[in-house]
Structure 1
Amino acid sequence: MISRFTMAEQNSLPKVSVYLITLNEGRHLDEVLSSVKGADEVVLVDSGSTDDTLDIAEKHGARIIHQQWLGYAKQKAFALEQCQNDWVINLDGDEVLPDGAFETIQHRIAKGDINGIYLAHDDIFMGHSLPGHRHHRFRRVYRKSKSHWNTSTKVHEHIEVEPPLTHLPIDVKHYGYDSAHGYMDKLNKYSLLKAKQREERGRHCSLARVLLIFPLMFIKFYFIRRMFLAGWRGFIKANIDAFHFFLTEAKLYERAYRRKRGDDVEKSER
């Protein structure tokens, strides 16, 4: 996607802040920040990176704020509050806008008739896109004054945006799932957070879910979300995604089982 707007048009566009939360995101951060060149400000809230994340952020002129980890939703809510402009774009440290997308977004919000925009993910797995897997849309662009993060969730955080919203045909390149090893590490952590969240909401372990969740979710990912179009990569990704749901149920069962036996549940998970 190549920018097709004149310099005069771009200078008249609304100011936009870009914000990210980071922890050792140096691998892709240079590409991420290059993709939002032209933003009025870039706010980067870091929770203790030890790689070259901060050096890259400084090179791109980002405003760096150090904040001890608060949890996914609360960390993003904190970062949003640091933004000076009403219109914001939220990206993770492994998400890259395609060429010209930033200007396209600016021109759409300049019409003044919306509070937010959905964008789609182009998930990279084993070095390449996953065909047929770009339908899932995310709220990534919105008015700060019309939005708030739901801070009651531990994982898979989401932002509430007052309507109206629209979507643009922009696929955000997402490297977060690139390797099977790295993806499994993430999902292992997320599954425990999800299990704890379900406990807090009064949802208990179901042996039926333990038995059925894996095959049902595999069918969902492989066939309904069309991962079969990616060949063996899609088959592997669908199995990993299904296993994530099984692992959540397994950890929920384990926590209930250990608690019933009088074990120290939190100690067993360290």
Structure 2
Amino acid sequence: MPREPLSVVVITYNNADTLDACLREVDWADEIVVLDSGSTDDTVAIAERHGARVAVHPFDDYGPQKQRAIDLARHDWVLNLDADEILSPGTRGVIERALEHPRHAGYRLPRRERMFWTVQHRRSWRNGHLRLFDRRRGRMNDVEVHAAVEVDGPVKTLRAADFVNDGDGDITTRVDKINRYTTGMVAYKLRRRQRFTGLRMVLYPPVFFLRQYIGKRYFLNGWAGFIASVTGAFYAFLKYAKLHEARERQRASSRRGSEPVEPR
């Protein structure tokens, strides 16, 4: 049965180590669009080898760059992937069936995380991410670091499908990413004027750990699941710690600016 034509969009920067696996699993799509930020490795060559339409634009932020890639697509239905994300076997069929008579503005795909030396167990909880959508009814939002698609209309989760985020191959990479992401979120959280930062810093990390390790069944992944839950709790702590630090610096700067200047 005919389905809606599909464009796959990916933004890249020096992703030669993961891009081939990503594009290999979507070579059935009607179009692949790769928006590169000036890679110096084989990223562009790999994209071209898979028949992708490649464009180049300097990177300013995740959300705007993703939106540029979406705007380059020729078809209304878009599958938005990162260069280190790989569709699992069987997901193609689920997506194609959904696009035969799409009744929703978008579809969430459950995501399994790479947990260092292994991949998240299928029976642990997989968070759904809105990646398949009608671009006439959706756009990227303006959240720093964690920008995502928002659509005007109903959304459904395709539970029979999933994809793997293959980005964090070791603990060092995970911790480096946590540090970058939490720094990038400070300005956004300052604008939101989030309250009770100190209380969140104390209480949220242990709650996060228990939610991941027990609630989401990360214990099924053995020590990898334990370490992923601990580093996730560290992420929860660090984003509020950095927000608290930024506010203290603002207060200190304000106090210095209001102090009278003594005559010489």
Q: Is this a same-fold pair by TM over 0.5? A: yes
Check if 1:32 corresponds to 2:53.
Answer: no
Aligned residues: 252
Q: 1:27-64, CA deviations, whole angstroms, 9 ceiling, x for partnerless residues?
A: 11101001001211111111122221111111111111
Q: 1:45-101, CA deviations, whole angstroms, 9 ceiling, x for partnerless residues?
A: 111222211111111111111111131111111111111101110110011112343
Deviates more, 1:170-179 or 1:252-261: 252-261
1:205·1:256 contact (CA, 8 Å) conserved in 2?
no
Deviates more, 1:252-261 or 1:242-251: 252-261
**Equivalence map 1:45-64=2 (5 Å):** 45-64=35-54
Please give the alpha-carbon distance, in whole angstroms, between the structure 1 residues aligned to 2:85 and 2:78: 15
1:241 is displaced (CA, Å) by 0.4
Give me the identity figure in percent.
33
Consecutive unaligned residues in structure 1, runs of 5 or more? 1-8, 264-270
Question: 1:177 aligns to what SS in structure 2?
Answer: coil
**Counterpart code for 2:138:** S
**Equivalence map 1:9-24=2 (5 Å):** 12-24=2-14
Question: 1:255 aligns to what SS in structure 2?
Answer: helix
Question: 1:45 aligns to what SS in structure 2?
Answer: strand
Consecutive unaligned residues in structure 2, runs of 5 or more? 255-264
**Counterpart code for 1:118:** R
Check if 1:74 corresponds to 2:64.
Answer: yes
**Which residue pairs with 1:6 in the alignment?**
none
Deviates more, 1:214-223 or 1:23-32: 214-223
Q: 1:184-222, CA deviations, whole angstroms, 9 ceiling, x for partnerless residues?
A: 111111111222211012225632222223222212211
**Which residue pairs with 1:94 in the alignment?**
84
**Which residue pairs with 2:250 in the alignment?**
259
Query: TM-score by structure 2 length?
Result: 0.89
**Counterpart code for 2:81:** L
Question: CA distance change for structure 1 residues 206 and 29 in 2, over 3 Å: closer, same or farther?
Answer: same
Question: 1:170 aligns to what SS in structure 2?
Answer: coil
1:103 is displaced (CA, Å) by 4.0
Question: 1:244 aligns to what SS in structure 2?
Answer: helix
Question: 2:208 aligns to what SS in structure 1?
Answer: helix
Please give the alpha-carbon distance, in whole angstroms, between the structure 2 residues aligned to 1:141 and 1:97: 12
Question: CA distance change for structure 1 residues 220 and 41 in 2, over 3 Å: closer, same or farther?
Answer: same
Deviates more, 1:76-85 or 1:99-108: 99-108
1:176 is displaced (CA, Å) by 2.0
**Which residue pairs with 1:187 in the alignment?**
178
Please give the alpha-carbon distance, in whole angstroms, between the structure 2 residues aligned to 1:20 and 1:182: 21
1:210·1:250 contact (CA, 8 Å) conserved in 2?
yes
Please give the alpha-carbon distance, in whole angstroms, between the structure 2 residues aligned to 1:161 and 1:261: 41
**Counterpart code for 2:58:** Q
Question: CA distance change for structure 1 residues 22 and 103 in 2, over 3 Å: closer, same or farther?
Answer: same
1:123·1:134 contact (CA, 8 Å) conserved in 2?
no
2:3·2:101 contact (CA, 8 Å) conserved in 1?
no
Query: TM-score by structure 1 length?
Result: 0.87
Check if 1:198 corresponds to 2:189.
Answer: yes
Q: 1:127-180, CA deviations, whole angstroms, 9 ceiling, x for partnerless residues?
A: 3222243431111111111111112x1021121123333232112021123321
**Equivalence map 1:134-213=2 (5 Å):** 134-151=125-142, 153-168=143-158, 169-203=160-194, 206-213=197-204
**Which residue pairs with 1:267 in the alignment?**
none
**Candidates 206, 219, 227, aligned match of 1:236:** 227
1:228 is displaced (CA, Å) by 1.6
Please tell me whether Structure 1 or Structure 2 has the larger radius of gyration of its CA atoms: 2
Please give the alpha-carbon distance, in whole angstroms, between the structure 2 residues aligned to 1:204 and 1:68: 35
Please give the alpha-carbon distance, in whole angstroms, between the structure 2 residues aligned to 1:253 and 1:162: 35
Deviates more, 1:244-253 or 1:216-225: 216-225
1:205·1:253 contact (CA, 8 Å) conserved in 2?
no
Please give the alpha-carbon distance, in whole angstroms, between the structure 2 residues aligned to 1:178 and 1:215: 24
